[in-house]
Amino acid sequence: MRDIYRGVAVLAAVAAGAAALVLVLPSGPDEVAAGPVAAPSAMPSSSGPAAPSPVPSSSVPAASPSASPTATPSPGSSLAPGYTAMQALYADPRVPRLTTAVKRMHLTRPAKRYVKDKRTGLAVPRLAAPWKAHGAAPFTSKQVLPRTRGTTLRGLFVTCPLPIQEQDKPRDTALLAARWTLNHHPKGSRITWLASQPVKRGWLLVYRVTYRKHQSRAAVVVVDGGMSKPGLAFVTVPDTQRKQWRDIGRVVSGVRALG
């Protein structure tokens, strides 16, 4: 009889343990769903990371399958994955918003001599001396001004297939192209818009680039030349060669599609 009672006690203890185990395990693999990921803060907390506190699974909301970032980040903020190229542009403090206050410029008479770039489908002006043709790589055509003593900067006029993602609107594509050209200006350069207007099969932007105590005048013209990607014409002239700033008007007036 004593052995029988001992067996009953063991069975009761096992049953109680199994019940406790059921209570502490989650009810299923989908009990806790991940929430949407937000853009990280641009500035770390001065007090250091806080210790995570346990959150009951029932209080964590399930993520919507269509959840995606919708707010445009402010300039200088960090970007979470999923933001568009234009949202990244608007978050760049080097590039101001292009407003309706930016006027059109008067286009001069088209050039008589052209460089035909068949890789972009563009014809662009062949600028007069002191400009001269130069080895194109990594572009598809290049014209430069002579070097000025005391600086490595000099006038540059190039063409190439569009190096950034094309947007639905030619104006937006030109904005992203202008931002890309900051790679060819000194570190810390910032843009000020001078002119913006449509051209046949594309868009042009003229702008000032400031860096330290100096500045350059620059322009981009994005034109559909009938190739797989639009063609880009980009010209920049530093203030040490300001006499050639007038050539920027000749460039933007003369870029056209070959076809």
pLDDT given for residue 228 in this prediction: 96
pLDDT given for residue 33 in this prediction: 28
pLDDT given for residue 109 in this prediction: 85
pLDDT given for residue 111 in this prediction: 82
Q: Which residues, 6 or more positions from 207, have their beta carbon under 8 angstroms from its beta carbon?
A: 178, 191, 192, 193, 194, 195, 217, 218, 219
First to last CA, the chain: 105
pLDDT given for residue 110 in this prediction: 78
Q: Can you tell me the distance from the alpha carbon of 241 to that of 199, in angstroms, rounded to the nearest whole number? A: 27
pLDDT given for residue 36 in this prediction: 31
Read off the tokens for 13.
Answer: 């203890």
Q: Can you tell me the distance from the alpha carbon of 167 to that of 144, in angstroms, rounded to the nearest whole number? A: 29
Under-50 pLDDT residues of the chain? 1-2, 4-5, 7-77
pLDDT given for residue 79 in this prediction: 56
Q: Is the pTM of this model over 0.85?
A: no
pLDDT given for residue 121 in this prediction: 98
